[in-house]
Amino acid sequence: MVENNMEYAGLKDIFAGVATATLGSYITILLVERSFREQEEHRRQRIQAAALRQIQGSLNSHLSFLSEMYIVALEEYPSSPPASYAELFNGDFDKQVQLLDFERSYPTAGDGPNPDWFQISENEISNLRNQFDKTINQYAGLMEPELVETLQSIKESELTKFLTAISEANIRKLDSDFGVDRQYTVLFGHDDIISSHTDAVLNLVQRYEDVSIDITPIEDQGAWQDNVTPHAGSARVENNPSEMEHVIEIKQNIEEDVVKTGGKTEKVRRTTAPMDEYSRREVLYGLIVFFIGITISFGIPLLVST
């Protein structure tokens, strides 16, 4: 009996030791895994922060570009700048930017001719895409999928693709080929692609705020200062939008062809075009002359023969 008790006590000690060792190993594994996850999270945060800092300049430039697009399309400076980029883009941004005439010049400090808004937008979008592509490629497989998606949604937005195609196609030459004389409000009627783009930009701005990386505050953008060019209204379309409606169909047909052909300057035969009041009157006069001619040509010979 004594031997049995001693054996039982020995087994008990062995099991207790095994249990303690197992529990200790399990706790050690949990602590190691927790430490590993924390290290991975810190590494992930460092990578996201590094990627965001790499495109920080491009985002600031793009926010400045969008702010200037808005201010030059306004009739006058607002009494105070928007309190945030969200307030800017969620206000009347889409409505006002549609009135920007892209043929207007953008004042620069150089001695050469000033670029127009076609050239300014082409340069801005090209730089934005190049920097975003560089960052995506450099951190491929390391950035959060959501951040990659946000960058892609900006650089490949319908707005950036549309403006790129318009610039590459040289729409002014296309207008000349089609005999269209107009102001270049190429965004007129495209409020949907404008708002979609600014929504994606706001998403990226929010990421900077989440990780406490500074971007240029909206009140510090030069667009809101009346002593900095370009000035308010400097690229606003001259005609009232209601007076431009008769050219919208031609404009949209040409621009849609440009986008569909990938920016190639292909001349597409037009079978329809909006007719203003003067052209309809001319058509009516033509029909009247035509029927008078038919009457004279056939009616008089018939009367003579009878």
Segment 58-90, tens digit of pLDDT: 999 999 999 999 999 999 998 888 999 999 999
Q: Are residues 181 and 285 in the same domain?
A: no
- The rounded distance, in Å, linking the Cα atoms of 165 and 258 is 6
Per residue in 155-173, pLDDT tens?
999 999 999 888 877 777 7
What pLDDT score was predicted for residue 130? 96
Q: Are residues 67 and 157 in the same domain?
A: yes
CB 171 within 8 A of CB 102: no
Q: Are residues 165 and 251 in the same domain?
A: yes
Q: Are residues 236 and 298 in the same domain?
A: no
Per residue in 116-155, pLDDT tens?
999 999 999 999 999 999 999 998 888 888 999 999 999 9
Residue that wins the pLDDT comparison between 18 and 8 = 18
Q: Are residues 128 and 16 in the same domain?
A: no
Q: Are residues 68 and 175 in the same domain?
A: yes
Per residue in 212-229, pLDDT tens?
899 999 999 888 888 888
**Crossing angle (nearest 10°) for helices 145-155 and 117-138:** 160
Residue that wins the pLDDT comparison between 306 and 235 = 235
Q: Are residues 141 and 17 in the same domain?
A: no
- The rounded distance, in Å, linking the Cα atoms of 158 and 196 is 8
Q: Are residues 201 and 83 in the same domain?
A: yes
Per residue in 278-293, pLDDT tens?
455 555 545 555 545 5
| 242 contact partners, CB below 8 Å, separation of at least 6 | none
Residue that wins the pLDDT comparison between 297 and 139 = 139
Q: Are residues 162 and 182 in the same domain?
A: yes
Q: Are residues 78 and 163 in the same domain?
A: yes
Q: Are residues 175 and 100 in the same domain?
A: yes
Task: Give the range of the structural domain holding residue 240, as residue numbers without chain letter.
Answer: 58-274
What pLDDT score was predicted for residue 277? 43
In this prediction the pTM is 0.69
SS3 content of the chain, % helix, strand, coil (to 5): 70, 0, 30
Q: Are residues 181 and 262 in the same domain?
A: yes
| Number of structural domains in the chain | 3
